[in-house]
Amino acid sequence: MGMKCPHCHKSIENESQSTKDWNSFGYQSPLITCPKCSKDFLCKAFHEPAAEGIDKKWLNVGIPLKRALIYTAIWAVCWSAIYFIPSLTIPLKIRVLLLGLSGLFMLYGLLDWWTVIRIKSGKEAKLLLKLVQESEKRLQDENYVRRLYNLGYKVPKKYLPKDLQ
């Protein structure tokens, strides 16, 4: 993820953020230190889950299940049109388009079915719990909390050092 430092305006790549698990939901340290000017800033795309909480929508199976069913139905209609309607009825360009669409909807459907399985199996909940635990560990570091606080991040009182409460 490329971003610009608000202090020196240089484009930076933050290795520690870009190598995070792609499925981290944006829950990671919002504190970025510019490698060019060494100044700290907050990235609004990232959130400390122990401080801000976890959005329960990530554990709601309803939305990915509905999408999976819709994508699977569209995939089935595309395949049916390709294989069960005689070749003479559908022009070649339309058949190629249907083939491409069926592949795309099959991919989207499989991704959503995979998400449904991860939610139902508890893997998503375990991942979110791990992200909260990592966040709590970061928030135990008084220096880290002070840096967040000084940048205007709303750190819950329970994590603040005594002199900042």
The 10s digit of each residue's pLDDT in 100-111 is 989 999 999 999
| 15 plus 62 within the same structural domain | no
- Taking each helix axis as running N to C, give the angle between helix 62-84 and helix 92-121, from 0 to 180 degrees, rounded to the nearest 10: 150
| 69 plus 29 within the same structural domain | no
Average pLDDT, the chain: 88
- Residue 27 pairs with which residues in a beta bridge? 47
Q: Within a domain: residue 32? A: yes
Q: Within a domain: residue 116? A: yes
Q: What is the pLDDT of residue 23?
A: 56
Q: What is the pLDDT of residue 164?
A: 85
Domain count, the chain: 2
Average pLDDT, integer, range 70-89: 86
| 67 plus 118 within the same structural domain | yes
| 61 plus 79 within the same structural domain | yes
Q: What is the pLDDT of residue 17?
A: 46
| 61 plus 109 within the same structural domain | yes
Task: From residue 84, give the alpha-carbon distance in Å to each of 46, 75, 88.
Answer: 49, 14, 12
Q: What percent of the chain has pLDDT over 70?
A: 91
Kindly report the number of other CB atoms within 10 A of residue 75's CB atom: 20
Residue 19 reports pLDDT greater than 50: no
Full domain range(s) for residue 95: 57-123
More confident residue, 12 or 113: 113
| 63 plus 109 within the same structural domain | yes
Residue 94 reports pLDDT greater than 90: no
| 109 plus 61 within the same structural domain | yes
